[in-house]
Amino acid sequence: MSRSAPTRTIAVIALLLVSWLFTLATRGTAAPELPRSELGGACYCRAMGQLSCVGVTTKGQCDKHCTEAFCDEWFWLERLTCWNWGYGG
């Protein structure tokens, strides 16, 4: 049984439409990327000559805690955990 030209054309259009809809549906399923300030990381505070890790916090929480704790200097390392051993020597 051979198909007529209009039937083939309709089948091709339907196939293109289904593939286009599939592409649109899968495009928006990626996980949203968090802003840098909402990511967790290690917060380090240097006070009275000693460096200590406050904990795993966001950048905003680290800045707030270290300001309130009167740290001489502090820094935040994105996506890392605390490393409290090996300092001092």
Q: Which of 21, 32, 77, 33 is nearest to 54 (CA)?
A: 77
pTM of the model: 0.54
Kindly report each contact of residues 7-16 with a partner whose C-beta sits within 8 Å and lies 24 or more positions away, as own/partner: none
| Domain ranges (residues) in the chain | 37-78
Residue 14 tokens, joined: 């339907």
The conformation of residue 48, written as its DSSP 8-state character, comes to T
pLDDT tens digits for range 63-74: 999 999 999 999
pLDDT tens digits for range 21-73: 677 666 655 555 656 557 899 999 999 999 999 889 999 999 999 999 999 99
